[in-house]
Amino acid sequence: MFNGITPSHIYESTFNAQNDREIKKELDKDAFLQLLVTELKYQDPTSPMDNKEFISQMSQLSSTEQIMNMSKSFQNMIDSQMSLQKLNAAGLVGKNVVVKNNSINLQNGVSEGIIYSLEEQASISLEIYDANDKIVYSEQLGGKEAGVHSFAWNGRNNNGVAQQDGEYIYKLYKNVDGERVEIGGLDGGTVDSVQFLNNEFFVLVNGERYPISAVQEISEAIDTGNQNNNNENI
């Protein structure tokens, strides 16, 4: 190499220029520029870098910087959208909501009610499972009209044996052209709080946590105090 400069000198110089920086897995624009400057510094004057090659490397540097700027802008947009979504979700606190639900609790032999909605008339069947995913109760509920329906489980299996207290999972099916199609159950109440966990949004209703995607209906909470005052004034 000209003037006694060898490739090892170039690599050593580049390493020394970078040794005070954090080691990165990807080549950022600063490292790219440093390598380009080093290459220009130690090029052979009798055989300088080709103009086309130089322009090509400068274009790469420009493209790299543009991509990084776009990435930062995109991340800022995502952060802004996340902040807006949090504000919107917080607005659910105090509202009445209807959420998808397929679990019930059995306490002292008394079960929570099962509620479901039908858009059209259908024949309905029910299955209830314990914590071990074992079916403990099933029943053909028969034909039901469109609308909201409820079912009260007596807390016993099909043999009449009382089941242990705890949480149970139920599945509702409607008969469509001879095939069973699962439908979701419903729960409802006032949103006590909104939680943000791992970039996901949850509402706390009746002590249970539900994802925002489970919310089926939102309505204003009824002010029972004002309602009672209005009734007294009538």
pTM: 0.54
d(CA 201, CA 197): 7
Q: Where are the alpha helices (DSSP H) in 140-191?
A: none
Please, what is the angle between helix 29-41 and helix 51-90, to 10°? 170
d(CA 32, CA 179): 63
CA distances from 23 to 7, 19, 29 (A): 22, 8, 14
Q: What is the pLDDT of residues 34-67, one digit of tens each?
A: 766 776 666 656 555 555 565 566 666 666 666 7
d(CA 190, CA 188): 7
- List b or e across 33-69, with b for residues whose CB sees 16 or more CB atoms inside 10 angstroms: ebbbebeeebeeeeeeeeeeeeeebeeeeeebeeeee
* % the chain with pLDDT above 90: 30
Q: Per-residue pLDDT for 225 more than 70?
A: no
SS3 percent helix, strand, coil of the chain, rounded to 5, is: 35, 35, 30
pLDDT of residue 89: 73
d(CA 130, CA 137): 9
Give yes or no for a contact between 216 and 116, defined as CB atoms under 8 angstroms apart.
no
Q: Per-residue pLDDT for 10 more than 50?
A: no
d(CA 11, CA 17): 10
Q: What is the pLDDT of residues 171-192, one digit of tens each?
A: 999 998 888 999 988 888 888 8
